[in-house]
Amino acid sequence: MKEHTVHLFDGELSHLHYLVLEMAGLVIDQLDTVMTSLDEGEVSIAEKVVARDREVNEYELKIDAEVLSILAKRSPVANDLRKVISISKIVVDLERIGDETVRIAKLIIDMFDPQTSDPNPQLLRDIVRMGTMARGMLRKATDAFDTGNLDDAYVLIRGDWDCGQEFQDGIRRQLTFVLQDARLIGRALDILQIMKALERCGNHCINIAEFMIFMVEGKDIRHRH
Per-residue model confidence (pLDDT) at position 174: 77
Per-residue model confidence (pLDDT) at position 3: 44
Per-residue model confidence (pLDDT) at position 1: 36
Residue 154 confidence class, pLDDT cut points 50, 70, 90: very high
In three-state secondary structure terms, 117 is coil
Calpha distance 2→128 (Å, rounded): 54
Domains and CATH numbers, the chain: 1-217 (1.20.58.220)
Summarize the confidence of residues 108-117 as an average pLDDT: 82
Per-residue model confidence (pLDDT) at position 2: 43
Per-residue model confidence (pLDDT) at position 225: 60
Residue 170 confidence class, pLDDT cut points 50, 70, 90: confident
Q: Is 140 exposed, middle or buried (0-12, 13-18, 19+ CB in 10 A)?
A: buried
Residue 190 confidence class, pLDDT cut points 50, 70, 90: confident
pLDDT for 185 beyond 90: no
